[in-house]
Structure 1
Amino acid sequence: MTVAPLPEIAILLYDGAQAAAVHGLTDLFAVATRMTRERGGGGALRVSHWRPEGAAMACVFDSEPGAAHRPAILIAPPSLAPLMPAEAMRPLARWMAEAHEQGATLASICAGAFVLAETGLLAGRPATTHWGYAGLLSARFPDIRVDADRLVIDDGDLITAGGVMAWTDLGLVLVERLLGPTVMLDTARFLLVDPPGREQRSYRAFIPRLDHGDAAILKVQHGLQATGAVGAALPAMLAQAGLEERTFLRRFRKATGMTPTEYGQQIRIANARAALELTRRSVGQIAFDVGYEDPSAFRKLFLRLTGLTPGAYRKRFGRAGSGD
């Protein structure tokens, strides 16, 4: 009787790859294997680690040594180091692309998206990365549809995950795909982590673009920041910039990537997030303090921009307890 080969998940070890993610994923898949066997299933996951050695890729760890390698999944892990130069990523990307041609699914986490992007396979496809890298990924690979609000984008043969710790989310997505939803939930419960479904926008901070070189727009940005964008009105912004409306709106979007209305909303919601995290003030009071007279409108906007209601946000991130 021929025994079917175990699904192999290969993790790339490149310069600066986060060791915690590499070993954490290895442990997560080991737990999933244990969970499926405890349920009487025969499924298991084989995990291997690979790094460049000369012009080739060498396996330096194998959880089930012996059988020939043919990874079903290849993962480019996150990194806490500065991004590698593109030329250093290309040998890894070529190896990933060759495996993809043989039927492998490719995955990335955080900065690993840049390695995956070097394959060229993300062109015209949706992808996510850490929100802090989203602008750079879009600039370097303008044909990728970058969506940094989402924590995991499963696009079939290509899966991308956002933040540094999103390896837990990616790992559970892969467990569900390879071993089923029951084993995935068992694994999540054992590790005390949330099942996939979180959104990155709940964690994303508003970091305004200030290095665009447009002095008139920068002056307005500083003014909005100083006032918390409370009561911000277009005529006052036009006067501050010394520009006529059409020119101002065009230059503001070019400099910031947003309309003045969207920019003001981001500042006000950022201030509301801080108040929810650090104070016990009620949601209604916070809404008024940041510039919204209608708490209902504030709640809808907060949900749209963060993916959570104000109450749910405070429950998850608050450090001062709940307000009314």
Structure 2
Amino acid sequence: MGEPETRDKATIALLAGPDVTASTLFGMYDIFGSAGRDWELLMHGRPGESLLEPVIVSRDGRGFRTANGAWIAPDMALAECPAPLAACVPDLMIAPGASLASYAAEMAWLRDCQAAGALMAAACTGALLFAEAGLLDDQDATTHWAYCDALAQRFPRVRVHAHRSLVVSGEGQRLVMAGGGTTWQDLALFLVARLVGVDEAMHLARLNLIDWHREGQQPYATLSSSRQIEDACIARCQLWVAEHYDTHSPVAGMVAVSGLTERSFKRRFKAATGMTPMDYVHTLRLEEAKQVLESSDAPIDEVAEEVGYADPSFFRRLFGRRVGLTPSQYRRRFRSMRLRLQ
């Protein structure tokens, strides 16, 4: 990762807009403020000097209530913020494809920060604001797995990596994005490692029991897309296959339900869903397999047969390619999680 970056004032600005998620905003604030301070308290009984200065900034600096009801009291307005060492956008509670036109002032501030050489970081759906501001054109990027398709469709110049939990790109590697959920922790540790040093990042990981998301987002993603309803004929077929995906010839069954010729059906299905009929069947089968692996101890071969695969070896290969873990690895990770929650 190289030597830590240094500037006159180690300010990390956390952008707070009306759609910000408070847990990510304050979680990142705590991690950055902890750098240099809390490990010394733990080891020697006295706090050390904070090495980073996190500040919460907003358009006008006034307090506001977020979409999920939390109260945010920013430290300052955008115009009052000194040139930050890094500018961070926490995740936003917005729908995929939602307009961000109301964030014009925030986007202008982000462009100014980038032009001044700041390290630009976005957690989860915060990457959508980067894209809207034009920061991701012709760059690698990631965001929450459920928003990757919307990001790629709306901003075709952005190279979206849906499976990765952390992406570093841009000139000087100054664009850093984390995927969904708690990958903001990976992002915060990465920034501390880059700005302060790897040892301090390791201290914070130990102090906060943070485990890096080594497998990326892929194992957590829901494979099947939401049911589209604009084409009534295809929607009817999707309803049918949701109940019959484990049959021997589900695509032939959908063709029969559609009343179309096989060629017309396949063309129309792909146009409506963006997937071939067989790919759609695979997503349904694998999503069901994930549920079975989480909730039962059935042998892998039985799981394969239950969801419609007569060849267990084909099921294992397909599962590994689509999910990013083998069926056994997936079960070890998520079966134990489900049991603890139960």
Q: Same fold (TM over 0.5)?
A: yes
Question: 1:128 maps to which residue?
Answer: 142
Question: 1:146 maps to which residue?
Answer: 160
Unmatched segments (≥5 aa) in structure 2: 1-5, 62-72
Give the counterpart of 2:230 among 192, 213, 216: 213
Structure-2 change in CA distance of 1:197 and 1:61 (3 Å): farther
The one-letter amino acid of 2:181's match is V
The one-letter amino acid of 1:97's match is R
The DSSP-based 3-state class of the residue aligned with 2:146 is coil
| 1:10 lines up with 2:13 in the alignment | yes
Q: Distance in 1 between matches of 2:256 and 2:95?
A: 41
Question: 2:327 maps to which residue?
Answer: 310
Cα deviations across residues 34-64 of structure 1 (Å, max 9, x unaligned)?
378689x99922212111118xxxx9439xx
Answer whether contact 1:49 1:61 (CA < 8 A) is retained.
Answer: yes
Shift of residue 201 of structure 1? 1.5
Shift of residue 208 of structure 1? 2.9
Question: 2:24 maps to which residue?
Answer: 21
Shift of residue 287 of structure 1? 1.3
Shift of residue 262 of structure 1? 1.3
Q: Distance in 1 between matches of 2:139 and 2:229?
A: 28
Q: Distance in 2 between matches of 1:194 and 1:123?
A: 31
Question: 2:267 maps to which residue?
Answer: 250
Question: 2:198 maps to which residue?
Answer: 181
Cα deviations across residues 118-168 of structure 1 (Å, max 9, x unaligned)?
211212222222222233333432332233222221112212222132211
Shift of residue 15 of structure 1? 0.6
Structure-2 change in CA distance of 1:104 and 1:36 (3 Å): farther
The DSSP-based 3-state class of the residue aligned with 2:104 is helix
Shift of residue 14 of structure 1? 0.7
Aligned pairs (5 A) from 1:1-324: 5-34=8-37, 44-53=51-60, 60-61=74-75, 69-80=82-93, 85-155=99-169, 156-318=173-335
Shift of residue 82 of structure 1? 5.7
How many residues are aligned here? Answer: 310
Answer whether contact 2:33 2:50 (CA < 8 A) is retained.
Answer: no
Of 234-243 and 22-31, the range deviating more from structure 2: 234-243
Answer whether contact 1:79 1:164 (CA < 8 A) is retained.
Answer: no
Q: Distance in 2 between matches of 1:259 and 1:170?
A: 35
The DSSP-based 3-state class of the residue aligned with 1:15 is coil
Shift of residue 186 of structure 1? 2.6
Answer whether contact 1:32 1:175 (CA < 8 A) is retained.
Answer: yes
The DSSP-based 3-state class of the residue aligned with 1:133 is helix
Of 209-218 and 186-195, the range deviating more from structure 2: 209-218
Answer whether contact 2:140 2:168 (CA < 8 A) is retained.
Answer: no
Shift of residue 78 of structure 1? 1.0
Unmatched segments (≥5 aa) in structure 1: 63-67
Q: Distance in 2 between matches of 1:276 and 1:194?
A: 23
The one-letter amino acid of 1:147's match is H
Cα deviations across residues 74-109 of structure 1 (Å, max 9, x unaligned)?
111113356874222121011001110111122212
Of 209-218 and 122-131, the range deviating more from structure 2: 209-218
TM-score normalised to structure 1 length = 0.85
Answer whether contact 1:107 1:116 (CA < 8 A) is retained.
Answer: no
The one-letter amino acid of 2:156's match is P
Question: Considering only aligned residues, what root-mean-square deviation do their CA atoms show, in Å?
Answer: 2.9
Shift of residue 6 of structure 1? 4.5
Shift of residue 272 of structure 1? 0.6
Answer whether contact 2:224 2:280 (CA < 8 A) is retained.
Answer: no
Answer whether contact 1:36 1:179 (CA < 8 A) is retained.
Answer: no
The one-letter amino acid of 1:74's match is A
Q: Distance in 1 between matches of 2:16 and 2:112?
A: 17
The DSSP-based 3-state class of the residue aligned with 1:132 is helix
Cα deviations across residues 278-318 of structure 1 (Å, max 9, x unaligned)?
11212221112112223222222111111112122112211
Q: Distance in 1 between matches of 2:187 and 2:245?
A: 37
Answer whether contact 2:9 2:85 (CA < 8 A) is retained.
Answer: no
Q: Distance in 2 between matches of 1:130 and 1:176?
A: 23
Q: Distance in 1 between matches of 2:131 and 2:144?
A: 14
